């Protein structure tokens, strides 16, 4: 039996590297294909077409994306929408043209309306206005979902393609980005508290009021969910979804305030100073918790508690040269 040839797009990112760790742990022997950015520009249509024509891929984990926190999204909105649209359009179309039957697209919980009911269900998509601070990124991710759905609807029966989408909640873990200019909240807090401890600073300044609530999932838990969704039989996968709303939320199932999160990171990093909240900075959405009933119904559940996951993440941070 020939090996399954799997392309992990974005393999150097936090999600992509977790997918590779997951694949390597499985009993099956996969032929994992990766390409560095200097070897394959995913925003270049012809380069992507040539790559797929040459490699004859069986499955794709489409984790490649331009990502960042509130500051990065606010500073580079054109870059966020353009690069993400180009990456997903090039890969999905070239996958279809080259005969790839199975693809998994990774979105983000920011696709949902700013004032969604909580916890957010998959069918809440496109029912209201988006959070302005990351609207361009959100629209690009929504387009990725709809690309997958549209290709399935037009070509699924005739060509046997099955392109799926999952929407992770806020992620953290090994391989995260700790650059304070464009990182997310957990790596930002880890770096701030660690440096404050090292420099013996009296306080750490945290963006926003601290009252906003967020849900967090360890990236290795997402990787396990991704592998399960990718390999579900069609009849099982489509039991809980329809062709016009086929994406699946992947969340931890509970949230906490940023204030509570900051105190937890303070404890894990063993920082002894004070926490001060900068209310002149934006909070973003007040609450963002995903309804994860569908992914749970497929037999998946997260393994890492937030505290255990943060401890593992901090150990990983300590190995980095920041």
Q: Residues with catalytic annotation?
A: 137
Residue in the block written with tokens 């992990």: 8
Is the separation of the CB atoms in 153 and 162 below 8 Å? no
Q: For residue 166, which of 126, 226, 235, 79 has the smallest C-alpha distance?
A: 226
Quote the CA–CA distance of 192 and 145 in Å, as a whole number: 35
Quote the CA–CA distance of 296 and 100 in Å, as a whole number: 28
Name residue 4's beta-bridge partners.
30
For residue 249, report the phi and psi dihedrals to the nearest 5 degrees: -70, 140
C-beta atoms surrounding 232 within 10 Å: 17
């Amino acid at each position: 039996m020939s090996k399954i040839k799997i392309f992990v797009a974005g393999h150097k990112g936090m999600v992509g590297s977790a997918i590779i760790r997951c694949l390597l742990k499985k009993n099956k022997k996969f032929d994992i294909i990766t390409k560095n950015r200097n070897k394959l520009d995913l925003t270049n249509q012809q380069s992507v077409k040539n790559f797929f024509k040459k490699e004859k891929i069986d499955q794709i984990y489409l984790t490649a994306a331009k990502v960042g926190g509130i500051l990065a999204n606010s500073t580079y909105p054109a870059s966020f929408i353009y690069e993400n649209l180009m990456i997903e359009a090039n890969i999905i179309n070239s996958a279809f043209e080259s005969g790839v039957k199975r693809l998994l697209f990774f979105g983000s919980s920011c696709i949902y309306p700013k004032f969604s009911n909580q916890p957010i269900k998959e069918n809440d998509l496109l029912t209201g206005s988006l959070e302005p601070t990351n609207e361009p990124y959100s629209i690009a991710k929504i387009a990725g979902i709809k690309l997958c759905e549209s290709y399935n609807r037009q070509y699924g029966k005739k060509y046997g393609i099955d392109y799926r989408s999952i929407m992770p909640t806020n992620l953290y873990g090994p391989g995260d980005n700790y650059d304070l200019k464009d990182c997310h909240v957990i790596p930002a807090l880890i770096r701030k508290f660690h440096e404050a401890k090292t420099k013996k600073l009296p306080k750490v300044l945290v963006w926003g009021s601290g009252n906003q609530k967020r849900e967090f999932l360890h990236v290795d838990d997402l990787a396990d969910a991704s592998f399960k969704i990718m390999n579900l039989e069609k009849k099982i996968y489509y039991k809980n979804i329809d062709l016009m709303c086929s994406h699946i939320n992947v969340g931890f199932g509970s949230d906490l305030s940023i204030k509570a999160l900051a105190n937890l990171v303070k404890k894990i990093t063993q920082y002894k100073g004070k926490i001060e909240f900068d209310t002149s900075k934006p909070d973003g959405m007040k609450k963002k918790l995903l309804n994860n009933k569908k992914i749970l119904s497929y037999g998946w559940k997260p393994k890492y508690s937030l505290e255990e996951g943060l401890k593992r993440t901090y150990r990983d941070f300590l190995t980095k040269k920041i």
